Structure 1
Amino acid sequence: MIKTDFRIALRNIKRNKSYALINVLGLALGIASALIIFAMVSYHLSFDNFHPQQDRIYRLVTEWHDDGVNRSAGVPRPLGKTYREDFNFSDYTARKVDYRRVMIAVPDAGDDKRFVEESGIAYTEPEFFKIFDFPLSRGDSSKVLRQPNEIILTERMAQKYFGESDPIGKTLRINNRTDYVVKGILQDFPVNTDVQQEFFVSYHELTLDGMDTNWLGVFSGSKCYTRLKDGVTAEQVTKALVGLSHRIYEGRDKDIWQFKLQPLSDVHFNPDFDGYVNKSYLWALLIIGLFLMVTAAINFTNLATAHAINRAKEIGVRKVLGSNRKQLFWQFMAETALITLISLVFAYGLALVILPGINGLLGTEVQLHLFSSWQLPVFLVSTAIFMVFLSGSYPGLVLADFRPVQALRNQVTQREIGGLSLRRVLVIGQFVISQVLIIGTLIIASQIRYTRETDLGFDKEAIVNLSIPDAGNAAKMKTLQHRLSAINGVKHVSLNFQPPASGSNNSTDIRYDNRPDTERWSINMKFADDRYLSTFNIPLVAGRNFFPSDTVKEFLVNETFVKNLHLASPEQVIGKRISVNGDENQGTIVGVVKDFHNYSLHSEKDAICIMPSTANYFNCSIKLQGQQLASSMAAFERLWKETYPDYVYSYGFLDESIAEFYELDNIMLNLIQGFALVAILIGCLGLYGLIAFMALHKTKEIGVRKVLGATVPQILWLFGREFAKLLVIAFVIAAPIAWLGMDRYLADFSYRITVGPGIFLSAIGLTLAIAALTVGYRSIRAAVVNPVDSLRHE
């Protein structure tokens, strides 16, 4: 019986090729999109879930509870050691401090074995590799990183630096300063881990820099991980950490500084602690994937019910010959299943073709190996069953209910197959989904355009940043600065820690005007020379710039600093003394600069303190003018290499680094644009099929109208008014849904666009234009047919 059903189904598909093709294309597009989304979401949900007892692994994080709550994934360096010594909650606790863009070299091997590693290195306590399952392929895991100047690295990096020779016992040099002996080789990390470093050096060196006792500064790269003992809860530890804060800090700081446990499963997703992707974005993608499959199913149902009249005589004959309602239903379900299976094969192939491009866009390594895990086969089977029953159930019931006498006489009416009312509802449903995606695309694109065009409070154009590898050598830095300033096309050159807006920010406490307590808010420290303001065109609003100096003597602060002190004017802070980062940096405020964004528009502007400190200049910023970029860049490289011949030259443009703040937003824009296009294509396939059906069944009506004097535009309006009305209704439903969703998206930005009526009018205008193009050709063909031929129809 099943074999017969599928044979008949195949025969029907061959007989109605255009109908089958439209359905296969629609279903394939919807399933391929859902398949890609499923693979992406599964990839992200799998991050770091391969570690044994991963539900007991946590990261310690910092919160400052004062005027609002500020958070950091970093913690004060002494926290890990104190927690380990004072409490007995954990099996293992380990500190890890990572630094990006580090030069690593094989001594005496020349330039061929000297590279700048973007992911950098991590100073790591050995317990880190007891908490996490990153096994060694060579070396003794019980001994590595326990002595000074030891390093372990991944197999991939061992191959890069040492080739086929045995790396154990050989030496790597970090930043041309310190040599480390290779003591172990790690197996290459899985792609689904947030640990990006591939070089781990013994933590011992950091115990000598004085920061290991500093409780007041938090560097974002300073992390602490712990694995709780069986039976210990996060609530118990959090309560104990409150007591630790009260013991370590004084005055108001006891309640301001709070340490919490962040589950490992939350690290990849929490934007408050630098998570890569917000989980709400993943759920939004899943909903989009479901919507696209529903859109494809609606398309199938719509066309199937419209096509049902053409099969009335077939159903009548089969009923007269003894087929019952159940047999007819399952016959149509078999046909639906065959179309779905064909679509599934096309969808899988399409997803395989598209996925490499998406991986390149996202910087991911999502894969679609059919039998690499149980999830993908289960998803494909579940999708096939879902689509078969969602698409085929209603049309199957409609066909099975035909009365044989009416069917054989061709007297089956629109009312008996669900009528236009059903198809109107289905078309509205399709275009609700399409318009929600179109509105979302327009709003995200507008916000990203706003981030590019808004005034950041400083000049970001034509500024080149060169790395300073030897910050301790002031003479070299200033010689390079002087020589760069003499190059034709160079306007200003500044030595600094980082540009005004940077992903690397140091926040610490501030004591104003010798007050007994620190302020209730933190300060963002920026080390820079006296040319910083002119290079980035940051205006002063009060006072003067600080005088050239190698150490901290004078400070510049911003307007937010003044506002946080609740002072009436910037002039009131001029001449006041402040202490930053405990009593480590003390001096006098000599000027107030206009506020500028020190991070992305997702964040509020911070209180900022700019101060000179030669020992902290790791960056050289060059402001260019004129059109001599190529010759200037060549000169920069030549002078830099003459100054630092033992290092690897690298540079970057400030506007490009700022654009990286919105990398995830651009990714979301590209994804939603692609899925909106898919939804529109599926909807257009459905519209084209329906307009062809309407044209066929209105042939005689069109002939009568033309005989009675109707013009071609009037005939076109006969088709157009139907779909225009449906699209307007879809827009009325879609607009509030899209507004609610996009309002949540924009809530992540402290500085955001105002969503006006223009975006919604553009969306409905674009949808109407696409629909007009879709139905126009087929409508015109129907409208220009000779009425004599139309009246002879049937």
Structure 2
Amino acid sequence: MIKNYLITSFRNLRRNWNFTIINVTGLTLGLTCCLLIFFTVRYELSFDTHNKHIDQVYRLSIHNKANGEKGYMTGMPLPVLAALRSDYPEIKNMVTCIYGIREVLVTIGEGKNLKKLTSASYALGFIGPEYFNLLDYKWLKGSPATSLSNPGSVVLTESQAVTYFGPGNAMGKTIRVDNKMNFVVTGIIQDPPVTSSFPFTTMLSFSSLKEYGAFTSWDDWISTYGGGQMYMRLPENMTEQRMERNLADLSKKYRDPKAAAETDLVLLPVKDMHFMTNMQNYAGRTISKGMIWSMVLVGIFILITACVNFINLATAQALRRAKEVGVRKVLGSTRGQLLRQYFSETGVLTFVSVLLALILAQIALPGVAETLNISSKGVMFFADPSILVFLLIMAVVTTFLAGFYPALVVSGYQPILALKGKMRTSGGGQANLRRGLIVLQFTISQVVLLGTLIAYMQMKHFRTMDLGFVKDEIVNVPVPEQNPGQLERLRAQLENEPGIKSMSFSSFTPMSGSNWQTAFTFENDKELLDFEVVMRPADTSYVKTYGLTLIAGRMYLPADTIREYVINEAFVQKLGFKNPEDILGKRLTIGGSDHKLPIVGVVKNFNTYSLHREIIPCVLTSLRSNYSTLGMKLAAGASPALISKIENVWSATFPDYLFKYTFLDQTLNSFYQKEERLFELFKILAGIAIFIGCLGLYGVVAFMAESRTKEMGIRKAVGASALNIFGLFSLDFVRLVVVALVIASPVAWYFMSEWQQDFTYKVNVSWWIYVLAGIFAIIIAMITISFQSIKAALTNPVTALRSE
């Protein structure tokens, strides 16, 4: 019986080969999208799940209650670690501080065998042995309890050990970090999974941090560094609520009373860290769960769109097969047998589509992985059990979705009416269903299209928005710790280059992914104010080099230490002053300092963080010991030869370090890589959704043109023009597209409004965007319809009418 079903199915599919191709193409694309989205979602949801006790591990954060969801800080003051261990000995070995370093020079060997390498961002960090009580690693050599217990020790991942020392035993060998300090290899661990939020490959002993030099003081309860983060694993007998009560007590005991009242020390689950888009992690990779479920939803919509094609074409062909059903029923076929027959046809189509989707997804995987910055190394869909199970489920669901209604309709025909050819008079319900399904298809397509257009506008807004400083033609070069006079010599030599218009030494560029935040007191206040400021230590050329605008007062005088302050407009407004001139001469005490120093100038607001966050109070001041970045404003169209000259001068000044440069505009664009990648993905998905919808529309129009051949012949015979015939076909479908736009617009607006909640600076979506999407959809529909409608309109009426 099954053999008979299959043979009959192949015959019917071959007889209607054009509709078979349309259905297979649509289902293949839909299943391919679902497969790639499943792989992506599985990858994103698997972050940090390899750790056995991940449900008990938390990141300590400071939460400014006044700022709600945007008030969390990743950095913690360093004294918190010692206070926690002394006040709560039960967690002494369950709490740790990780002091991650963005990029440093690592030197291996000496003499002719000297090798210099620059570490990747946060690939290197100072880590204590308690870290291994929180997260799971497989140790190849060394011990988690002792390998990082002594100063000057380092643990390497297996691949990093090969990078530093080549194949062989790296134990006992030495690396030098940033030409400051030597570290001896005391342990080798297996590489962590790519789905880890802790991408450290070089783990330095935390007990070496004082000698190496920390960014903040060990006694400073105010200042924080974003890379200095603390993590805790709760013992089995301690709840999250109890530990947060302990943190509240600790905060009141050690922190400034006003800071303790305005901010809380809180626990945030590490298992959710990958999904916290309002906070960064060491991997530099986050994605909201809302975006993940949006991808799932888009995948489901695309699969539904492909299934709609099948339903539309199958119900359209149902009238053609009415007599076949009548004959089968007269010969004794039951409705159940007819259902199985039509389900077998759908199953054959789905099986072929699944195989093609598996091949197509494997081919497309490297490109998708590169676009979304996910790892696909060694992934083979054919050998992945979860992928195959997912495909099996998708095949069953698709067969049911696509085949159930057509099979129900066709198997329900009454044999006497089918054999008399009277089924055509009862096709209005099916026609309405097809119209409704076409509206559904184009609604889905236009939701994805509108989402893509709004995402494009948001990304364009990021690229063109006035940031309050100049970002073009600016080159940044990291500067190592220097001896007295080195910066001055470097400046004197580079100033002679005609292609360099201006240069400045600073701790950070105006907008930076690494920031120093601290609290302060104003004038004679004894308590800290209820907000923090972001520091921008820099020399006096900073304003000129980065194009900042001084709107009141003057720039601070040249100095090696903090003498005077220049603040931004946001700081002035936060302190309640309406006129910037009124704040000049007022005094600040920054951080843990005892010195009240004057405000001598005010600059126009500029963005210090990415555009996900609002402009906050900022302080510019001199502090030579913290200058780690050289910024140079180049003349327009500067040649690569100029970079080579800069490198020669820099290398002569710092011969023990590697020269590395970046363009500021490229660095700033990297802040929005996540959005750019998702935008690229949705562009592709929008194109596929529209293409699948057009395939179905083409098939329905093709069937209509075939079934209405005689009608078209009569119309032409009585004087209808080709344009009249084209309009007859087109008008109905244009109406459907317009209805779809009306439905899609509020849906797209809702979802994109939710997506834009991550951004402080949102683009305003005008009404014309929706009109543009509608016009585009109508044009696409008209082009799709035109192939068949023009063919029908140009057919000779004699050919259509002369035969039965």
For residue 412 of structure 1, the aligned residue among 406, 423, 439 is 423
Equivalent positions of 1:124-523 (< 5 A) are 124-207=127-210, 209=213, 211-274=217-280, 276-366=286-376, 368-370=379-381, 374-413=385-424, 415-416=426-427, 418-470=429-481, 472-523=482-533
Equivalent positions of 1:72-83 (< 5 A) are 72-83=73-84
SS in 2 for 1:122: strand
Larger CA deviation: 398-407 vs 709-718: 398-407
CA distance in 2, matches of 1:464, 1:55: 44
CA distance in 1, matches of 2:425, 2:343: 22
TM-score (structure 1 length as normaliser): 0.97
Question: What's 2:629 paired with?
Answer: 619
What displacement does 1:417 show? 7.8
Question: What's 1:11 paired with?
Answer: 11
SS in 2 for 1:94: strand
Structure 2 vs 1, CA of residues 715 and 314 (structure 1 numbering), >3 Å: closer, same or farther? same
What displacement does 1:416 show? 4.1
Identity %: 36
- In the alignment, is residue 775 of structure 1 matched against residue 785 of structure 2? yes
What displacement does 1:459 show? 0.5
Larger CA deviation: 407-416 vs 686-695: 407-416
Is the contact made by 1:543 and 1:591 (CA closer than 8 Å) also made in structure 2? yes
CA distance in 2, matches of 1:337, 1:73: 52
Is the contact made by 1:546 and 1:556 (CA closer than 8 Å) also made in structure 2? yes
Q: Which deviations, in whole Å up to 9, do the C-alpha atoms of 1:444-502 show, x marking residues without a partner?
A: 100111111111100111000011022x4241122112212211211000001111011
What displacement does 1:249 show? 1.7
Structure 2 vs 1, CA of residues 371 and 224 (structure 1 numbering), >3 Å: closer, same or farther? farther
CA distance in 1, matches of 2:577, 2:548: 22
Is the contact made by 2:73 and 2:226 (CA closer than 8 Å) also made in structure 1? yes
CA distance in 2, matches of 1:269, 1:474: 45
Equivalent positions of 1:380-779 (< 5 A) are 380-413=391-424, 415-416=426-427, 418-470=429-481, 472-583=482-593, 586-779=596-789
CA distance in 2, matches of 1:710, 1:474: 92
Structure 2 vs 1, CA of residues 372 and 699 (structure 1 numbering), >3 Å: closer, same or farther? closer
CA distance in 1, matches of 2:710, 2:390: 47
CA distance in 1, matches of 2:143, 2:559: 49
Q: Which runs of 4+ in 1 moved over 6 A?
A: none
Structure 2 vs 1, CA of residues 461 and 474 (structure 1 numbering), >3 Å: closer, same or farther? farther
Is the contact made by 2:362 and 2:380 (CA closer than 8 Å) also made in structure 1? no
Is the contact made by 2:105 and 2:116 (CA closer than 8 Å) also made in structure 1? yes
What displacement does 1:749 show? 1.4
What displacement does 1:765 show? 0.8
SS in 1 for 2:505: strand
Question: What's 1:791 paired with?
Answer: 801
Is the contact made by 1:552 and 1:586 (CA closer than 8 Å) also made in structure 2? no
Is the contact made by 2:585 and 2:599 (CA closer than 8 Å) also made in structure 1? yes
CA distance in 2, matches of 1:414, 1:46: 55
CA distance in 1, matches of 2:749, 2:552: 42
Larger CA deviation: 66-75 vs 150-159: 66-75
Larger CA deviation: 176-185 vs 208-217: 208-217
SS in 2 for 1:610: strand
Equivalent positions of 1:66-145 (< 5 A) are 66=66, 70-88=71-89, 90=91, 92-108=94-110, 110=112, 113-119=115-121, 120-145=123-148
The one-letter amino acid of 1:222's match is G
What displacement does 1:587 show? 2.1
What displacement does 1:127 show? 1.0
SS in 1 for 2:529: coil
Question: What's 1:27 paired with?
Answer: 27
Q: Which deviations, in whole Å up to 9, do the C-alpha atoms of 1:600-647 show, x marking residues without a partner?
A: 221110100001111111100000113232221111111111111211
What displacement does 1:576 show? 1.5
Larger CA deviation: 408-417 vs 281-290: 408-417
The one-letter amino acid of 2:104's match is V
Is the contact made by 1:39 and 1:366 (CA closer than 8 Å) also made in structure 2? no
Is the contact made by 2:372 and 2:678 (CA closer than 8 Å) also made in structure 1? no
- Paired residues, number: 793
Is the contact made by 1:468 and 1:619 (CA closer than 8 Å) also made in structure 2? yes
Larger CA deviation: 106-115 vs 74-83: 106-115
Is the contact made by 2:277 and 2:758 (CA closer than 8 Å) also made in structure 1? no
What displacement does 1:371 show? 6.8
What displacement does 1:377 show? 2.6
The one-letter amino acid of 1:29's match is L
What displacement does 1:67 show? 6.2
Q: CA RMSD in A?
A: 1.6
The one-letter amino acid of 1:253's match is A
CA distance in 2, matches of 1:219, 1:412: 76
Is the contact made by 1:65 and 1:255 (CA closer than 8 Å) also made in structure 2? no
CA distance in 1, matches of 2:306, 2:634: 53
What displacement does 1:372 show? 6.1
Is the contact made by 1:245 and 1:257 (CA closer than 8 Å) also made in structure 2? no
Is the contact made by 1:153 and 1:200 (CA closer than 8 Å) also made in structure 2? yes
Structure 2 vs 1, CA of residues 111 and 358 (structure 1 numbering), >3 Å: closer, same or farther? farther
CA distance in 1, matches of 2:118, 2:328: 75
SS in 1 for 2:589: strand
What displacement does 1:88 show? 5.0
The one-letter amino acid of 2:127's match is T
What displacement does 1:140 show? 2.6
SS in 1 for 2:615: coil
Is the contact made by 1:695 and 1:782 (CA closer than 8 Å) also made in structure 2? yes
Q: Which deviations, in whole Å up to 9, do the C-alpha atoms of 1:312-334 show, x marking residues without a partner?
A: 22222211211111100111001
Question: What's 2:58 paired with?
Answer: 58
What displacement does 1:414 show? 6.2
Larger CA deviation: 683-692 vs 628-637: 628-637
Is the contact made by 2:240 and 2:267 (CA closer than 8 Å) also made in structure 1? yes
What displacement does 1:111 show? 7.5
CA distance in 2, matches of 1:187, 1:9: 53
CA distance in 1, matches of 2:316, 2:751: 34
Q: 5+ unaligned residues in a row in structure 2: which ranges? A: none
Is the contact made by 2:38 and 2:296 (CA closer than 8 Å) also made in structure 1? yes
Structure 2 vs 1, CA of residues 142 and 250 (structure 1 numbering), >3 Å: closer, same or farther? closer
The one-letter amino acid of 2:287's match is V
What displacement does 1:375 show? 2.9
CA distance in 1, matches of 2:724, 2:201: 70
